[in-house]
Structure 1
């Protein structure tokens, strides 16, 4: 039975691949540098850097709206294509998540450095305002603008003797900047240093402070946009799963960890009912459950994907025949982590 199922799956896969259209033929494309040009893989949307519409495109996530409107995508999308698309979205989603986490760590370190450095600057400015020429602060910092600010504070201390006559204006100016930096440390990122001064140091300090605040504000807004994009990608992942007409499940140690809404149509179970259950509930008997495990996992230890027919059972007790298309989660089968697409082919078999 195992050999028959494998041959049937391979024959079905070959016939399906032959029926696919080629994007370079449909659009009479002459972009020979395009990675999809004359490729044996007809699923051109999976390639990064395709030359669609006379422009070099990015990853699938970046060109997804254009792909959804493309006739080649609509004609070539099938169960295997949906599976590969989901895996690609999952991979790019993980990479995006990793980038967000790295940015979070960078911002956390930047915030700590900024807090400590501003505290040092505040204390130094207080001493300078009192006329202490011996004050010095360490100029090292990961933030270039902070290094410049510290350097200017040290220059101020070095030249304090020359500024005795201007001490009143400097004290007022430094107090204003102290108040500005204090407001920024409280989250008031729209605050800016205003007004002019005849003292070069205060003008430079104003410009440096405003530039520093603008850059911090820009970093925070970029982080917020990244978080919004991450939420959109999660919603997109859920939308793709919902759009697939066949039952799609993620398994870990043969336990269902996620499922799309189409499991209700194929098996009669809701996604909420299946998550956390063993896949035993999908098969007719313990013997079938053991047989599919012995047949499938050794193959997936060698191949990333595999298709085969196997009898299943719905929640209402009705027996059905399904085409199982499976793929390994990640580079290898770890903890038996796979994605399985169940297509009910009972009526097709009967015909």
Structure 2
């Protein structure tokens, strides 16, 4: 029987028979880095054309066994999300998980994959957080959650797959950039583009990131932390970094960020910062901003700050832009009060030290 899209599933819980000991876990949490350490459990939910969503399980984290002809290997039907669980007082909370669930649905629709109901996405995440809550680091660390969907039907032929597996894994994390840098340097990519109109730029799929890696390698060779891409049509409009949205802060206190339009990922951190900045009385423009204007405004002093934002890094001030035709520094080269203030407010809301006026926090424990 095919399940309806809104049918609730009961999760089978199978605890790890040999989880990490408290001492072993503590040793890993002392310096987890980012995305290198993983918790004891994972969530899986299967989908097939005849059954719909079924077999929801929480179980020991283990390798997958997939047929070599699984569609994900050959046709790239794969999407993912990223969100965090935070210690909030004596409990644990998520930040706007419904937005991740909706973006996940949008990504699935673009890649012709089945839509996971919002309530099922959130419950899957919460189930993993509850069973692995002891993995959330103390202090500034968080538990990074990675929901993803793979096409697993074994076949060779170009069409949407008829079988999928949805999974959630978790990783305790510290700072995204090594050393917890105050400001990062960015390489301007002029040879490569991240996304084109009509493509998958607004979709959180692995292919977008794979296509950005050669440009990221260029950035690293130039001594930069990240790469920033221009538009694919005119090669003049700033779009986003390899994995983060970007904001510009001007001498009048206003902000500009490139507009959504199919080529830019609709970041949840981006949306939250727009809301917080406007709540503080700042003007926030969602409009195109050219690389030439970026360079000119930095030189004249009109541009005071620039920062990247995303779930992993929250806010990272951009200090220097490097390019083949010359580099330039933004403001003091070390961030500024606007990005610092926005980060302090957002992190305070996420961790429960600042009132959640927007209703963004969802308590799990």
- TM bucket by the smaller chain? under 0.3
Higher relative contact order (CA 8 A, sep 6+): 2
Structure (1/2) with the larger strand percentage: 2
TM-score computed with the length of structure 2 as normaliser: 0.24
Structure (1/2) with the larger helix percentage: 1
**Structure having the higher Rg:** 1
